[in-house]
């Protein structure tokens, strides 16, 4: 019976004339170069991306004529549509492990490139779009079991050794906003934190499913949630804000971000890229109105804190974040530098360290012609990573925001210089943090230099991730602009001046 089915499939395959045309499926929202199957009987076309079938009529060609011309302008003509390389990619139709890598085609607002693959099996001839990097999917497939084991270990540690996790996920300081204290006083239950993570993952899935998978499988995010750190609430507000902004919902997005800024101060610096995301989604409100909404919601949150606290003493939270009064060891670099600094120079170096965040924020807002201003989600991710590095009191959960958003830029992975080295360095630094802390504070076989070396390596690895991201974007822009000129890109190198 199997042989008969194969013979029937072979006969059907021979009667169909395979063609690859510059067409657009009516059900696909983005512009695609879809491979269609032209049947000689009824002249129907079947999209290889979605299972939609439609007849090839004159009206259909007329409706997509302008979009066809736009893609031709980007590609420089249909002749650039060809097989350029052979790579390891599993075909979703026949499970073939070899496929042709098709040339990058499409340019859009936030995802300017699309990767196409075509199966090398002649009897399959399947062609599909890798709308998110296949490397991310493969990594999630192989590391999902590891993430499940980490989550089980975290649950075990929650019941038997929670204090050490609280010390590891630094962020549960005594000085907090009255809103957080009032909230956690009534909702400090494991189910609240689990539901908070689930809600955040659902909101991120509206932005991108691979991003939601990265968020749920990130061991650092799991440890922060198990420790019941307030950073989980901060990440939830920031990620929900960008997800809502990406869908064009200005009022709830600005409300979430203003609430995060009122509670933790630093997320307020994410306002410029969030406004750029909203403006890219054709928001009817202008920049002035968006700023007024943000200021109004922030004022309401601060007034509610004043009502709960019955005085203005809670404002010391913001001044302590700026002055860095508490020099308790954490995963940042502020505490060690200020401990070793003379008292008369402490204010100057604190100002210099805090200016990093201010300069990067003003650069994103005041220079609209920067290399990543045309991709506001990239600016949002870069600024979130900068805040995670230069916060006064960072913790391991702060990197959860920009790591979660990295799969949005899968087209940049092929332009990175040293991706394997960066991933290995970040994993090594994450492992050294609890190890050196244990040697210093528990076994007392080391000193503060041990732990500071691990935090310095952790900060350097995070900065290297952001540097690779900007380098890959600059190289992508260069390749995209010189594609129609047929310039050998391998002869050029992008350097930071």
- Per-residue pLDDT of the chain in tens (497 residues, 90 and over written 9): 544 544 544 454 444 444 444 444 554 433 333 444 444 444 555 655 455 555 554 444 444 444 444 444 434 444 333 333 444 455 555 555 545 444 333 333 343 344 555 555 555 555 554 433 334 434 444 344 344 444 444 444 444 344 433 433 333 334 678 888 888 777 778 888 889 999 999 999 988 889 999 999 898 888 888 888 889 999 999 999 999 998 888 899 999 999 999 999 999 999 988 998 888 876 677 888 899 999 999 999 999 888 888 888 888 888 888 888 888 888 888 888 888 888 888 888 888 888 887 887 777 665 544 445 568 889 899 999 999 998 888 888 899 999 999 998 888 888 888 889 999 999 999 999 888 888 888 887 878 888 889 999 999 999 999 999 988 888 888 877 776 666 565 555 656 54
What residues pair up with 85 in beta bridges, in sequence order?
101
Q: CA–CA distance from 173 to each of 320, 327, 474 (Å)?
A: 11, 12, 40
Terminal-residue alpha carbon distance, the chain: 67
Give span(s): CATH 2.20.25.10, the chain: 15-130
Q: CA–CA distance from 96 to each of 71, 90, 114, 125, 126 (Å)?
A: 30, 5, 21, 11, 10
Q: CA–CA distance from 396 to each of 24, 34, 229, 451 (Å)?
A: 44, 43, 10, 14
Q: What pTM was computed for the model?
A: 0.65
Q: Write the CATH number of the domain with boundaries 15-130.
A: 2.20.25.10
DSSP for 336-388, written as a single string: HHHHHS-HHHHHHHHHHHHHHHHHHHHHHHH-TTSTTTT-HHHHHHHHHHHHH
In 3D space, the residue among 356, 358, 361, 351 whose CA is nearest the CA of residue 324 turns out to be 351
Rounded-to-integer distance, Cα 40 and Cα 17, Å:
7
């Amino acid at each position: 019976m199997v042989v008969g089915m194969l013979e029937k499939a072979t006969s059907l395959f021979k009667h169909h004339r395979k063609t690859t045309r510059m067409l657009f499926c009516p059900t696909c929202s983005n512009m695609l170069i879809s491979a269609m199957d032209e049947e000689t009987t009824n002249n129907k076309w079947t999209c290889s991306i979605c299972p939609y079938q439609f007849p090839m009529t004159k009206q259909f060609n007329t409706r997509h004529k302008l979009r066809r011309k736009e893609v031709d302008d980007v590609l420089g003509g249909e002749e650039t549509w060809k097989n350029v390389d052979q790579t390891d990619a599993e075909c979703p139709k026949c499970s073939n492990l070899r496929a042709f890598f098709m040339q990058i085609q499409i340019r859009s607002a936030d995802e300017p490139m699309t990767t196409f693959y075509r199966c090398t099996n002649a009897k399959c001839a399947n062609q599909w779009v890798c709308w998110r990097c296949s490397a991310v999917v493969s990594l999630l497939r192989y590391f999902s079991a590891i993430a499940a084991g980490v989550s089980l270990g975290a649950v075990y540690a929650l019941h038997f050794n929670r204090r050490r996790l609280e010390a590891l996920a630094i962020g549960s300081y005594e000085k907090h906003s009255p809103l957080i204290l009032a909230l956690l006083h009534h909702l400090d239950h494991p189910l609240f934190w689990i539901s908070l993570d689930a809600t955040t993952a659902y909101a991120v899935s509206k932005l991108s499913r691979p991003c939601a998978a990265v968020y749920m499988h990130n061991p650092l995010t799991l440890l922060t949630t198990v420790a019941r750190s307030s950073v989980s609430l901060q990440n939830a507000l920031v990620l929900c804000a960008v997800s809502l902004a990406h869908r064009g919902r200005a009022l709830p997005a600005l409300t979430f971000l203003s609430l995060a800024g009122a509670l933790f101060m630093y997320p307020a610096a994410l306002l410029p890229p969030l406004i750029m995301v909203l403006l890219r989604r054709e928001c009817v409100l202008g920049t002035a109105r968006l700023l007024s909404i943000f200021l109004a919601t922030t004022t309401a949150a601060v007034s509610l804190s004043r009502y709960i606290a019955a005085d203005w003493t809670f404002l010391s939270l913001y001044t302590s974040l700026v002055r860095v009064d508490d020099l308790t060891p954490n995963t940042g670099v502020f505490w060690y530098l200020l401990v070793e600094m003379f008292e008369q120079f402490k204010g100057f170096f604190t100002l210099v360290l805090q200016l990093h965040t201010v300069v990067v924020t003003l650069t994103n807002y005041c220079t609209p012609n920067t290399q990543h201003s045309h991709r506001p989600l990239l600016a949002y991710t870069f600024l979130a990573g900068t805040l995670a590095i230069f916060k006064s009191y960072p913790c391991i959960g702060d990197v959860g925001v920009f790591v979660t958003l990295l799969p949005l830029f899968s087209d940049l992975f092929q332009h990175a210089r040293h991706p394997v080295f960066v991933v290995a360095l970040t994993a090594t630094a994450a492992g050294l943090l609890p190890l050196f802390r244990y040697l210093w504070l528990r076994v007392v076989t080391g000193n503060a230099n041990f732990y500071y070396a691990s935090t310095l390596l952790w900060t350097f690895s995070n900065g290297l991730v952001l540097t690779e991201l900007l380098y890959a974007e600059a190289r992508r822009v260069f390749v995209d602009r010189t594609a129609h000129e047929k310039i050998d890109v391998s002869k050029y190198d992008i350097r930071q001046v």
